[in-house]
Amino acid sequence: MHDLVIRGGTLVRPGGLEQADVAVDGDQISAIGPELGAAKLEIDARELHVFPGVIDAHVHFNEPGRTLWEGVASGSRALAAGGGTLFFDMPLNSLPCTVNASGLAQKLEAMQQNAATDFALWGGLVPGNLAHLPDLAAGGVVGFKAFMSDSGLEEFPRADDYTLYQGMLKAKELGLPVAVHAESEELTRGLSESALAAGKRGVRDYLQSRPVLAELEAIQRALLLAQQTGCKLHLVHVSSGQGVAMVVEAKAKGVDVSLETCPHYLFFTDEDMERLQGALKCAPPLRSRRERDHLWQRVLDGQVDLIASDHSPSPPELKKGEDFFKLWGGIAGVQSTLSVLVTEGYDLRGLSLEAIARLTAESPAKRFRLARKGALEAGYDADITLVDLGSKFVLREQDLLQRHPVSPYLNRSFRGKVRQTLVRGFTVYFGGRALEGAWGKLARPGL
Ligand code: ZN
């Protein structure tokens, strides 16, 4: 007698789609096949697609310290509503930042007390914290995040080339990747200062202060450092097809590099940023339609490793004002990744469901060595999302489970409603409601 059997769904697996039952015993998938035996609990999935739970490798839930901006409880429930079962929390926006053992202990406590889904943690790489990287590694971080341009937060200073170089040498020793926000500080700072000096404060002025060139210059430098040190590199939120092309070339030369892009770079363009203003402010910024289409082509060609939300909300008042440069930069989209990929990718551009599962589950689990995560396979954690691909819906404020109902995706139409999300076999989201409680556990590399 199994604990749970999910009956007759269409499973999205690396080898293709397959109609089968999924049996769950304890935390794990115990069997996959036709007409599995009796169970204490059954879910009828005959009309549904069964995806591996979405792994969001890039969120800022801002706890401890800035829970008024989001918080782990609301952030993780919003993730679950979007089909997510595991998030990687970034080392900044929380106070303290996760840059040493004590910061990590406080972050871990906040997670354990509040996370509705499983979680993993990024450590930070900042000037002066090299000696703390081994402690962070011992505490189970998936890697070290650094900013090549100003992070916007004083408490998380950007990594200069020396810090990046030394950090990569240390990270290599520890067997962990370094993740970088790749934009050139010199170019973005110079362009911003000259815009501000000329009294230019609008969306277009902001866009011009962070051109694709600034991204490409930083990617190139990060790739060179990774090549020279042998450190694994992960490029977060690459916003341009040209950036992807640069990474593809480096991979061909043997550099151990992966890259993510975000749903907002695939869904929106610079024109949307002018229309929606603060809700779409982010760095790197949104790009032209042409650049957006180029990025999509790279996704369709299988050249993007993974897609993560970079959910980074703030209170609504920080998103409003005349001076666009001063608004908080960060998009709140943790609930919409799968919806965007199904609607804009599968429906509109022919992206396969298997590719969606690879981009949102299999690939992040493999890259960050989470051995029991990311696939519908016996022996893997039963992190499962049931999606009704036949359904259409419009995202409304009341559907959002995050703290502040600010999202650029509001009032947009999507296909593929998430019906149910299970974390290690336990239902954390069903019928529009998410679990109140802390079911989540830390996922550590190698385990
Ligand atoms: Zn981020």
Give per-residue pLDDT as tens, 320-373. 999 999 999 999 999 999 999 999 999 999 999 999 999 999 999 999 999 999
Burial call 64-84: b when 16+ CB within 10 Å, e when fewer:
bbbbebbbbbbbbbbbbbbbb
Nearest-angstrom CA–CA distance, 361 and 358: 6
Whole-number Å distance, alpha carbon 91 to ligand 1 midpoint, is: 9
Residue 388: beta bridge partners?
417
Ligand 1 (single-atom ion) residues, CB below 5 Å: 310
Residue 23: beta bridge partners?
5, 31
Whole-number Å distance, alpha carbon 238 to ligand 1 midpoint, is: 11
**Which of 202, 144, 206 is closest to 175 using CA atoms?**
144
Residue 87, phi-psi category: left (phi > 0), alpha (psi -120 to 50), beta (remainder)? beta
Whole-number Å distance, alpha carbon 116 to ligand 1 midpoint, is: 21
Whole-number Å distance, alpha carbon 249 to ligand 1 midpoint, is: 25
Nearest-angstrom CA–CA distance, 52 and 84: 9
pLDDT band for position 377 (cuts 50, 70, 90): very high
Whole-number Å distance, alpha carbon 327 to ligand 1 midpoint, is: 16
Whole-number Å distance, alpha carbon 158 to ligand 1 midpoint, is: 13
Whole-number Å distance, alpha carbon 388 to ligand 1 midpoint, is: 30
Whole-number Å distance, alpha carbon 44 to ligand 1 midpoint, is: 37
For residue 184, pLDDT beyond 80: yes
Give per-residue pLDDT as tens, 87-136. 999 999 999 999 999 999 999 999 999 999 999 999 999 999 999 999 99
**Which of 280, 284, 239 is closest to 262 using CA atoms?**
239
Q: How distant is the alpha carbon of residue 217 from its chain centre?
A: 23
**Which of 206, 433, 229 is closest to 323 using CA atoms?**
206
Whole-number Å distance, alpha carbon 135 to ligand 1 midpoint, is: 23
- pLDDT recorded at residue 447: 76
pLDDT band for position 274 (cuts 50, 70, 90): very high
Whole-number Å distance, alpha carbon 11 to ligand 1 midpoint, is: 31
Neighbours of 158 (CB within 10 A): 18
Nearest-angstrom CA–CA distance, 301 and 298: 5
Whole-number Å distance, alpha carbon 90 to ligand 1 midpoint, is: 7
Whole-number Å distance, alpha carbon 413 to ligand 1 midpoint, is: 26
**Bond preceding residue 445 cis, omega within 30 of 0:** no
Question: Is residue 227 helix, strand or coil?
Answer: helix
Question: Is residue 37 helix, strand or coil?
Answer: coil
Whole-number Å distance, alpha carbon 180 to ligand 1 midpoint, is: 10
Please write down the HEC assignment for all residues of 342-362: HHHHHHHHCCCHHHHHHHHHH
For residue 14, pLDDT beyond 90: no
Copy the structure tokens of residue 83.
């089909």
Whole-number Å distance, alpha carbon 153 to ligand 1 midpoint, is: 12
Query: Mean pLDDT score of the chain, rounded to an integer?
Result: 97
Average pLDDT over residues 76-86: 98
Nearest-angstrom CA–CA distance, 372 and 447: 7
Neighbours of 402 (CB within 10 A): 24
Whole-number Å distance, alpha carbon 372 to ligand 1 midpoint, is: 25
Q: How many CA atoms lie within 13 A of 291 on its CB side?
A: 22
Whole-number Å distance, alpha carbon 89 to ligand 1 midpoint, is: 9
Q: Which helix (H) or strand (E) holds 40?
A: strand 39-44
Whole-number Å distance, alpha carbon 199 to ligand 1 midpoint, is: 28
Say which DSSP state 116 is in.
Answer: S
Whole-number Å distance, alpha carbon 363 to ligand 1 midpoint, is: 19
Whole-number Å distance, alpha carbon 181 to ligand 1 midpoint, is: 8
Whole-number Å distance, alpha carbon 60 to ligand 1 midpoint, is: 6
For residue 265, pLDDT beyond 80: yes
Average pLDDT over residues 49-77: 97
- pLDDT recorded at residue 89: 98
**Which of 262, 263, 235 is closest to 248 using CA atoms?**
235
SS3 content of the chain, % helix, strand, coil (to 5): 35, 25, 40
Give per-residue pLDDT as tens, 126-183. 999 999 999 999 999 999 999 999 999 999 999 999 999 999 999 999 999 999 999 9
Q: Any residues with CB less than 8 A from the CB of 190 and at least 6 apart, and which?
A: none
Residue pair 387/51 in contact (Cβ under 8 Å)? The answer is yes
Q: Any residues with CB less than 8 A from the CB of 12 and at least 6 apart, and which?
A: 49, 50, 51, 52, 353, 354, 356, 357, 376
Whole-number Å distance, alpha carbon 15 to ligand 1 midpoint, is: 32
Give per-residue pLDDT as tens, 225-258. 999 999 999 999 999 999 999 999 999 999 999 9
